[in-house]
């Protein structure tokens, strides 16, 4: 009887080790996959950027509508962004404070060929 119990105890130990090893292998492979995915660079969409001339045109239009009081510098400064937000709100488009494609089109400012494809 003792031999049967000793045999069962040994068998249960072997099974316990087998299950823990299996669980450990399953965890380690997921960790490896997660690590590999973190190291793989993610593809980004191209960033839409307004040209200096487009910014100057936008500043001129904002000035005409009394939404901007500064100079036409061609730089997207805080005052220009504030004016853009007011313009976007008035036109019912998403308020971002940036010169994105939709805002430029609403202002009737010509897009570059590269901007048209974005």
Take residue 23 and report the two structure tokens written for it.
Answer: 């669980």
Q: What are the domain boundaries of the chain?
A: 1-43, 52-116
- Express each pLDDT in 58-99 by its tens digit: 999 999 999 999 999 999 999 999 999 999 999 999 999 999
Say which residue, 89 or 22, is predicted with more confidence.
89
Judged against a pLDDT cut of 90, whether residue 7 lies above it is answered with no
Please state whether the predicted TM-score (pTM) of the whole model is above 0.75: no
- Shortest CA distance to 51 belongs to which of 96, 4, 111? 111
Measured distance CA(118)–CA(111) in Å, rounded: 10
What is the predicted pLDDT for the residue at 40? 76
What is the predicted pLDDT for the residue at 53? 97
Measured distance CA(68)–CA(58) in Å, rounded: 10
What is the predicted pLDDT for the residue at 111? 95
């Amino acid at each position: 009887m003792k031999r049967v119990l000793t045999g069962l105890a040994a068998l249960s130990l072997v099974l316990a080790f087998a299950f823990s090893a299996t669980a450990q292998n399953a965890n380690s492979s997921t960790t490896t996959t997660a690590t590999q995915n973190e190291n793989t660079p993610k593809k980004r969409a191209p960033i839409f950027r307004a040209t200096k001339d487009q910014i100057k045109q936008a500043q001129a239009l904002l000035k005409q509508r009394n939404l901007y009081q500064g100079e036409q510098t061609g730089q997207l400064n805080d005052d220009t962004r504030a004016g853009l937000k007011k313009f976007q709100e008035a036109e019912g488009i998403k308020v971002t404070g940036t010169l994105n494609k939709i805002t430029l089109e609403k202002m009737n400012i010509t897009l570059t060929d590269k901007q048209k494809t974005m």
